[in-house]
Structure 1
């Protein structure tokens, strides 16, 4: 009798486990992007001929999973890592944390939204990359370059976004969609002894309705990323941006305006951008411009023109040229031809 009961229990457990597995999934996903070309930033004094990773998208890979808990509730996780496909090195740069793209777990519901804990997106990321024709290109997108890429050369140019595109130690709440409108509330704990008030705080809104879309974000930052530490000056930095786009079918246009400043330091920035993309054959013609003014008198002007040709839904070829100018340091001309593969 005991053997029969044990066998029945084991069979029931196997059935439950089988059912749970049927409602769960784990996916290996990512993007490999490599290009060949020539890069020159203002102030470099010369160009570099390169085979580099991440012309249109920073190369990454990782695992994402979801489990249906019933009643409209799901548990999700994401562990994704950047890498340099030209060399095989991990991270976006030397010292980048291994899972600097995503390292989080969340609960999500269609009725109340989702709550995410861990390393996840910063408020600035989605508004910046969705509302410019070159998307998440940290090599050729003028808006992304102005907002997120400092030039460590003679120009001393500093990115206007103070604290990376991802935040560690983050609590992120995402609302459900209200007629195409969603919001995200971001809070990053500083995790510093005797510094309970040190944190990053931000929010964004994203609205999509037919051919029209709009967004806005704001951040108040005291902690650096990807490796969290209070800003060296004990400063608080603020940046915000609004943007909109409209798809006329024959051409999609977009524009943005934003400002950034420090509570204690002198520099303050004003950035505006405009862009357009038009379907041509199996690809799209891309054009974008960004202009940043600093209250010290410095200016940066960047223009990119490219063509993105899709061999399939997951594979595309691209060709991009860019002119980047910083006042007092002349201009730099860059170009690249590459292939991007999503999986």
Structure 2
């Protein structure tokens, strides 16, 4: 829904002159489903003695299956001579309960202001997605579906960061991105095997590197072929110092007729505050989209993580997952879907100590495997409306 600046100024109580020659768009997604998951345990944190407990099946309503539920405001103003100012304010919420997500932030998904010009690029400041996350968006078969996509394992728990300066440039078929965060603003609680919480608010006086983050990516797309490369680093608080979380990726896609195949590889290495490697893995994914009819779409995705070392353990059983999505579109805005996944040697979304259970903590629904369990199945039937 697009509203002229005069109407928005009246609604927001702003002077009309301040909004001259501007436009503001209200947009959003409402996505909710009913889900079944088996062998679910509790996220192992201090309050439960780091014990996931016995497994059991669960039937629940969940917000966000194919897309995270959200609403947002996007505005732009033509400044002349090819320059444009813009902003994005995007709030995530749980449709099943009406509560805010992203740790209760008002605009937890995105909140930034930008200045751009064609041929030069865009400079944006605020809470934003990382370069590597945006670079991989077109190479994720399920398009970063909220349920079952191993997004934390792939792009990192820090895929959104506070206090970020970001550059985006579009040069024909090539898109370049680079960002720097003065303080990522991500805090993960202490969990089994980890002696202290990880991360924090950052921007600590006298400790410039603490909680900083940065990355860059290049994406190429022309005709049926696409490819991307990227690097991401987060320096989270650990105790009174910081560690390093590093990722590098390469991915490609090819479309033919009603089908598109895509896949990629992500290298990962995490170190503690003493510069000792605490995690090293190689993550792979491959999948395909097939548009059976204009209304019916199918998606299949396989994910595999080769865990070379995890807190000194070099004999970790490698987790893998197979996911399938079928959706039917009633219109451009409304569709229904069936989403299902099977994970082995981890919970759904490949949730485990390797992800610090960040998916479950963020969504508010546990996908942690219970004691003694090595597999998990999830099935969700839902509806999504875009506005």
Whole-angstrom CA distance in 2 between matches of 1:242 and 1:43:
34
Q: 1:146-295 alignment to 2 at 5 Å? A: 147-148=151-152, 159=153, 161-175=155-169, 177-190=170-183, 191-198=203-210, 199-223=212-236, 230-232=237-239, 234-263=242-271, 264-281=276-293, 282-295=295-308
Whole-angstrom CA distance in 2 between matches of 1:109 and 1:123:
19
Tell me how far 1:62 sits from its aligned partner: 1.5
Structure 2's unaligned 5+ residue stretches are: 1-15, 43-54, 184-202, 309-313, 347-371
What is the TM-score with the length of structure 2 in the denominator?
0.74
Structure 1's unaligned 5+ residue stretches are: 1-16, 149-158, 224-229
**2:315 pairs with 277, 289, 297, which one?**
297
Whole-angstrom CA distance in 2 between matches of 1:28 and 1:266:
44
**Equivalent residues of 2:40, 2:58 under 8 A apart:** no
Tell me how far 1:197 sits from its aligned partner: 2.9
Q: Secondary structure at the match of 1:84?
A: coil
Tell me how far 1:165 sits from its aligned partner: 1.6
Q: Secondary structure at the match of 1:126?
A: helix
Greater Rg by CA: 1
What is the TM-score with the length of structure 1 in the denominator?
0.83
**Equivalent residues of 2:154, 2:266 under 8 A apart:** no
Question: Cα 1:165–1:294, aligned 2, differ >3 Å: closer, same or farther?
Answer: same
- RMSD of aligned Cα (Å): 2.0
Whole-angstrom CA distance in 2 between matches of 1:321 and 1:52:
14
Aligned residues: 303
**2:65 pairs with 43, 52, 55, which one?**
55
- The answer for the alignment partner of 1:12 in structure 2 is none
- The answer for the alignment partner of 2:124 in structure 1 is 116
**Equivalent residues of 1:171, 1:187 under 8 A apart:** yes
Deviation per CA, 1:225-252: give whole Å up to 9, x if none.
xxxxx24461111111111110011321
